[in-house]
Amino acid sequence: MILEVCVDDAGGLAAAIEGGADRIELCAALALGGLTPPPGLMALAARAPIPVMAMIRPRAGGFVWSAQDGRQMRDDIAAARAAGLSGVVIGASLADGRLDADLLAELVAEARGMDLTLHRAIDLVPDRDAALGLCRALGIGRVLTSGGARTAAEGARALAAMAGQGVTIMPGGGIAADTAAALVRATGAREIHASCSVPATPDARLTAFGFLPPGQRHTDVDKVRALRQALDHIGAGPPSG
């Protein structure tokens, strides 16, 4: 079982590696759902002993991007490549929720030769089968998804239905050591995505001054280790892609 942990700072990167993560999703601002990490963090992560995927998301909010956003995303992919990261996590939507095939094709072309994951833009699509078909056509081999639900556990039935369509389905959303086994049994997933985080307890003035968003969390090495151990005790299930 592959455990991918999302992190947004150097401390989180170290905790994920120490706890036994197999792969990192590298972000900035996880409190906002994850944004493109800065160059310095990319450079630090490139020295990690495990693969690192950079989130490519230039701003918070939805996934309908302007032409300027698209140019920025292509430049960010180039920066991730130059830093030596293994891959990128991408996504783009049209106003009606369908995946933006044209922009995704441009991003895939920019990332040629890198590992690719489609992020949770797929949880907003009106037709998941069509979205997975587009991923296959573009060569996006992995999809991070909660099955269109708030959490992966709530979307387990949809996640199971998405399996076996030529794309690796990686459940994410609210997964912890005590929920992983049931989710894997229900979906047959072979890769799991989690934050393994705990609430931060900063000086309240940081939030009051706007220096820190409410709900800030940080990666916890004990939670990573507990999830790693839970996954190691799960018998191999059927492949999900």
Query: All domains of the chain, ordered by start, with CATH?
Result: 2-232 (3.20.20.380)
- Which pLDDT belongs to residue 2? 97
What average pLDDT values come out for the chain (241 residues) when binned by 10 residues?
97 98 97 96 98 98 97 98 98 98 98 98 97 98 97 97 95 96 95 94 80 84 98 65 50
Is the whole model's pTM more than 0.85, yes or no? yes
Reduced to 3 states, what is the DSSP secondary structure of residue 11?
helix
DSSP 3-state helix, strand, coil percentages of the chain (rounded to 5)?
40, 20, 40
The CA distances from residue 53 to 32, 37, 68, 98, 130, in Å, are 18, 10, 23, 24, 25
- The tokens for 91 are 């996504």
The CA distances from residue 127 to 24, 77, 122, 187, in Å, are 29, 27, 9, 19
